[in-house]
Amino acid sequence: MMPAVFEGYLPYLGHRTYYRVVGDLEESLASGRVPLVTLHGGPGSTHNYMELLDCVADDGRAIVSYDQIGCGKSYLEGHPELWDVETWLGELEALVAWLNLRRFHLLGQSWGGMLALTYLTRHVATVGADRGACSVVLSSTLPSSQLWGREQHRMARQLPADEWAALREAEGTGDFSGAAYQRAIDHYMGLHCADLSYGPDAPECLRRPKRSGAESYAVAWGPNELMPTGTLSQWDVTDRLPDIQTPALIISGTDDLCTPLIAKTMFDALPNARWELLEGCRHMCYADDHERYVSLLRAWLDERDEFDGNRS
């Protein structure tokens, strides 16, 4: 039977952040099943696709997801001054405090992984600490915005010549409204991120209409995945990765926006890391190979629960 789902709102910066809990947080902690906090991508992509991981709560582990301020049920626009890493870091810290999460696992996908790494560098968590993150899952994410941009351009050069030319022209002119550009970026994202639409047989959470944070994405990141030009453009924690003792599971796909070079950069620098490369998966590994992804995630969380000493 599906665990109960609780929804609520966190007051934050004079606005409201929507959150969703699958299962019971107190029972999860008491049983030694450390809750999992998921951080969606974007910025501005909403929590919807994280519902694919609801099944991980079937064994009593509570799962927390939320719509970061600026998107989904936490939608906000007309506040460009908010869209930087400090806003979203403060929101995560506020949510952890609001839900009284003494111990938790973190899972960050894409931008969510950047947020997770930022959190860990600010709260240099160690194994066995009384509070904080006891493990992190870095799903199709990155340690450096500029490295990400370079790798996207390297892969985009493999597009048909006319599409690559359309991308370069849009970058040069700053005009991203042309049909040729849109066809090129749609093709690129279809190859490396996700299908542009999901059919009637896809899970409901992937087909559900969502209110994406277009403003937060444009201000914080830029016009597209290839061009980190916003407030996150110089974000880089590569040199801080060796300080993170928290056990880390890196998951990426062979066809991912997170290229093997990006994943290996994290794997090489993190002192307590494991890397799983999933064949045929793009940026949404949990959708492209759901069974394999969930199996990896369940095993990882169970292992880290036991190592953390919280199992009864």
The set of catalytic residues is 110, 256, 283
66-93 residues labelled b (16+ CB within 10 A) or e (exposed):
bbbbbbbbbbbeebeebbbbebbbebbe
Residues 6+ apart with CB under 8 A from 2: 54, 58
CA dist., res. 154 & res. 226, Å (int)? 10
User: Kind of pairing, strands 273-278 and 248-253?
Assistant: parallel
298 vs 27, 280, 309, CA distance in Å?
A: 18, 21, 17
For residue 141, give the nearest of 39, 255, 252 by alpha carbon: 252
> Token pair for residue 290?
């759901």
Dihedral sign of CA atoms 292, 294, 295, 301 in order: positive
CA dist., res. 13 & res. 125, Å (int)? 26
Q: What is the largest CA-CA distance in the chain?
A: 61
Q: Do you find a cis peptide bond into 209, omega within 30 degrees of 0?
A: no
11-37 residues labelled b (16+ CB within 10 A) or e (exposed):
ebeebbbbbbbbbbbeebbebbbbbbb
5 beta partners:
22
Residue with tokens 């064994």: 59
For residue 265, give the nearest of 146, 185, 115 by alpha carbon: 146
